[in-house]
Structure 1
Amino acid sequence: MAAETRPTLHELIATQIRANGPMSVANYMGLCLTHPAMGYYKGADPLGTAGDFTTAPEISQMFGELIGFYIVNLWQQMGSPKAFTLMELGPGRGTLMADILRVACRAEGFRDGLDLRLFETNPALIAEQHARLEPYGPQWVDALDKVSDGPLLVIANEFFDALPIRQFVRGDKGWHERVVGLDGDKLVFGLSPTPIPNTALPDIVQNAELHSVFEVALAGGEVMARLARSISTQGGALLAIDYGYAQTQTGETLQGVAKHAFANVLSNPGAVDLSAHVDFEALANVATKAGLSVHPLATQAEFLDRLGLKDRTKALSLANPNAATDLDLARARLTDTDRMGTLFKAFCVASPGLTPPGFY
Structure 2
Amino acid sequence: MTPLAGVIAARIRAGGPISLAEYMRLCLMDSRHGYYATRDPFGAAGDFTTAPEIHQMFGEICGLALAQAWLDQGAPTPFHLVEPGPGRGTLMADMLRAAARVPGLHDAARVALIEASPHLRQVQRDRLGHVRHIESIEDLQDNPLFLIANEFIDALPIRQYQMTPEGWRERLVGLQGEALRIGLGPVVPMNRPGQPGDIIEECSEGAVFAEALARRIAVQGGAAIIVDYGGWNGYGDTFQALRNHAPEDPFAQPGLADLTAHVDFAALAAAALRGGSVVSRPVRQGDWLCALGIEARAQRLAQAGDAGAMAALRRLTDPAEMGHLFKAIAIWPRGAPPVPGFVPLEAHADHA
Q: Structure 2 length normalisation: TM-score?
A: 0.94
Q: 2:134 aligns with which of 141, 159, 171?
A: 141
Residue type of the alignment partner of 2:249:
N
User: Is residue 2:25 matched to residue 1:39?
Assistant: no
2:201 maps to which residue?
A: 215
2:338 maps to which residue?
A: 355
- 1-structure distance, mates of 2:198, 2:329: 26
User: 1:90 Cα shift?
Assistant: 0.6
User: 1:249 Cα shift?
Assistant: 4.2
Distance 1:272 1:229, change over 3 A: same
1:153 maps to which residue?
A: 146
Task: Deviation per CA, 1:308-337: give whole Å up to 9, x if none.
Answer: 0011112212222xx2x4211110000111
Identity %: 43
1:4 maps to which residue?
A: none
1:314 maps to which residue?
A: 299
Aligned residue for 2:88, secondary structure, equals coil
8 Å CA contact 1:256, 1:272 repeated in 2:
yes
8 Å CA contact 2:213, 2:275 repeated in 1:
no
8 Å CA contact 1:306, 1:359 repeated in 2:
no
- 2-structure distance, mates of 1:257, 1:30: 16
2:73 maps to which residue?
A: 78
8 Å CA contact 1:115, 1:138 repeated in 2:
no
Task: Deviation per CA, 1:164-222: give whole Å up to 9, x if none.
Answer: 00000100110100000111211111101x2123xx234xxx1x221111111111111
- 2-structure distance, mates of 1:334, 1:249: 24
- 2-structure distance, mates of 1:102, 1:129: 16
Aligned length: 341
- 2-structure distance, mates of 1:37, 1:351: 41
Alignment of 1:112-123 (within 5 A): 112-123=107-118
- 2-structure distance, mates of 1:306, 1:75: 19
1:188 maps to which residue?
A: 181
Q: 1:297 aligns with which of 269, 272, 282?
A: 282
1:233 maps to which residue?
A: 219
Alignment of 1:194-273 (within 5 A): 194-197=186-189, 200-202=190-192, 206=193, 208-245=194-231, 247-273=232-258
- 1-structure distance, mates of 2:235, 2:75: 43
Aligned residue for 1:140, secondary structure, equals strand
Residue type of the alignment partner of 1:346:
A
After superposition, the CA RMSD in angstroms is: 1.3
Moved more, 224-233 or 303-312: 224-233
Structure 1 regions of 5+ residues with no counterpart? 1-6
8 Å CA contact 1:84, 1:148 repeated in 2:
no
Aligned residue for 1:145, secondary structure, equals helix
- 2-structure distance, mates of 1:16, 1:124: 26
- 1-structure distance, mates of 2:34, 2:153: 17
Moved more, 78-87 or 350-359: 350-359
User: 1:272 Cα shift?
Assistant: 0.9
- 2-structure distance, mates of 1:94, 1:231: 23
8 Å CA contact 2:234, 2:263 repeated in 1:
no
Residue type of the alignment partner of 2:188:
I
8 Å CA contact 1:145, 1:227 repeated in 2:
no
Q: 2:167 aligns with which of 171, 174, 183?
A: 174
8 Å CA contact 2:61, 2:292 repeated in 1:
yes
Structure 2 regions of 5+ residues with no counterpart? 344-352
User: Is residue 2:58 matched to residue 1:66?
Assistant: no
2:324 maps to which residue?
A: 342
- 2-structure distance, mates of 1:276, 1:52: 16
Residue type of the alignment partner of 1:304:
L
Aligned residue for 2:49, secondary structure, equals coil
User: 1:354 Cα shift?
Assistant: 2.5
Aligned residue for 2:137, secondary structure, equals coil
Q: Structure 1 length normalisation: TM-score?
A: 0.92
Aligned residue for 1:46, secondary structure, equals coil
Aligned residue for 1:91, secondary structure, equals coil
